[in-house]
């Protein structure tokens, strides 16, 4: 069975792929609006952990709508959720896999679909949506990552990776300026990018 995992190049989506590997044919899928080439970081990370990679283009209108939602509420949560939902819908519409997964965790607030949205997605697209990390908290995930992945962590503004927030941040800064940008994204947000996957003998040594 094939599963397509929404992929940013970070530790959560990478770990999700590894957890699914014993049961599925895993393909990592990065979605982009085409504003920049940050997706190349995800492609490299996918290669480094040994999974096939696919790039999928999202409708730029969705990014504009997400920015409007962020400005309306004054923070990025609902705008990021809107993009995540569109990404799942777009990948499901490809019809290339019966399963779609992501790296959302137990305590995440964004990106995150609610139960009604999940049921609607599955009913309309005939796919099965999977969240391998849904039962894992931060400390449990960090422990698994230490066993399986070498990562680098840094502030969202400086780390080169390929999540939804990267293009949203870039567009908001260009379109509305620094003051608005820092009002919507006021806090430092530490994110990760995967460098490689440990081999079995390295895990034993660790």
CATH number of the domain that residue 86 is part of: 3.40.50.620
Residue 206 maps to a domain: no
- Per-residue DSSP letter, 135: T
Within 8 A by CB and 6+ apart from 138, the residues are 105, 107
Residue 179 and residue 183: Cα distance in Å, rounded?
A: 6
Quote the pLDDT of residue 204: 47
Residue 81 maps to a domain: yes
Strands of the 99-101 sheet, one edge to the other: 53-57, 25-32, 2-6, 99-101, 128-130
Scan for tokens 């999540």, then name that residue. 163
Count the Cβ atoms, other than its own, within 10 Å of residue 202: 13
Residue 128 and residue 121: Cα distance in Å, rounded?
A: 9
Q: Which phi-psi region, left, alpha or beta, contains residue 145 (left: φ > 0; alpha: ψ -120 to 50)? A: alpha
Number of independent structural domains in the chain: 1
Residue 35 maps to a domain: yes
Residue 177 maps to a domain: yes
Residue 118 maps to a domain: yes
pLDDT digits (tens, 9 = 90+) for 133-157: 999 999 999 999 999 999 988 876 6
**Is the Cβ–Cβ distance between 88 and 121 less than 8 Å?**
yes
Quote the pLDDT of residue 107: 92
Quote the pLDDT of residue 64: 95
Scan for tokens 């390929």, then name that residue. 162
Scan for tokens 């290339």, then name that residue. 96
> Structural domain of residue 60, as residue ranges?
2-199
Query: What pLDDT tens digit does each residue of the chain (206 aa) get?
Result: 999 999 999 999 999 999 999 999 999 999 999 888 889 999 999 999 999 999 999 999 999 999 999 999 999 999 999 999 999 999 999 999 999 999 999 999 889 999 999 999 999 999 999 999 999 999 999 999 999 999 988 876 667 667 778 889 889 999 999 999 989 987 777 788 899 999 766 654 55
Residue 26 and residue 130: Cα distance in Å, rounded?
A: 12
């Amino acid at each position: 069975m094939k599963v397509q995992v929404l992929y940013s190049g970070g530790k959560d989506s990478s770990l999700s792929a590894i957890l699914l590997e014993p049961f599925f044919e895993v393909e990592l899928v990065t979605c982009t609006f085409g504003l920049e080439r940050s997706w190349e970081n995800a492609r490299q990370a996918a290669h480094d952990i040994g999974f096939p990679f696919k790039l999928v283009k999202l409708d730029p209108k969705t990014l504009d709508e997400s920015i409007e939602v962020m400005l309306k509420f004054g923070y990025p949560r609902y705008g990021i959720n809107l993009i995540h939902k569109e990404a799942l819908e777009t990948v499901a519409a490809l019809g290339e896999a019966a399963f779609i997964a992501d790296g959302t965790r137990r305590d995440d607030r964004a990106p995150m679909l609610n139960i009604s949205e999940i049921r609607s997605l599955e009913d309309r697209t005939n796919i099965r949506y999977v969240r391998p990390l849904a039962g894992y908290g931060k400390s449990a995930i960090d422990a698994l990552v230490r066993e399986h992945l070498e990562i680098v962590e840094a502030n969202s503004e400086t780390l080169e990776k390929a999540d939804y927030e990267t293009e949203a941040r870039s567009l908001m800064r260009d379109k509305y300026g620094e003051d608005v940008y820092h009002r919507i994204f006021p806090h430092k947000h530490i994110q990760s990018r995967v460098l490689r996957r440990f081999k079995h003998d390295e895990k034993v040594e660790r």
